[in-house]
Amino acid sequence: MSLVGWTPERELLTELVQAVRAMHSTLIGVNSKSGKGPEVPKPRRPRTLVDDLRKRADRDEANRVIQMFSPRDESGATS
């Protein structure tokens, strides 16, 4: 989704819609036998290159931590 046309008002309205959906799901959950409401879909928002780079950096950091704690055999390779 492009940033063209994305205004502070549109951002606020998107936040409002998300909050109303979450409250609706909670209301359904407390009145259902299972106690769980339906999953609330997140509205689409524009992504920037910075968002993509942060996501990639987070993924790379998670992979580095996983490798740090993964068991290694005698040759030093991870199993």
pLDDT for 70 equals 87
Q: What pTM, to 2 d.p., does this model score?
A: 0.55
Max distance between CA atoms of the chain, in angstroms, equals: 59
**pLDDT at 5 exceeding the cut of 90:** no
Percentage of the chain modeled with pLDDT above 70: 89
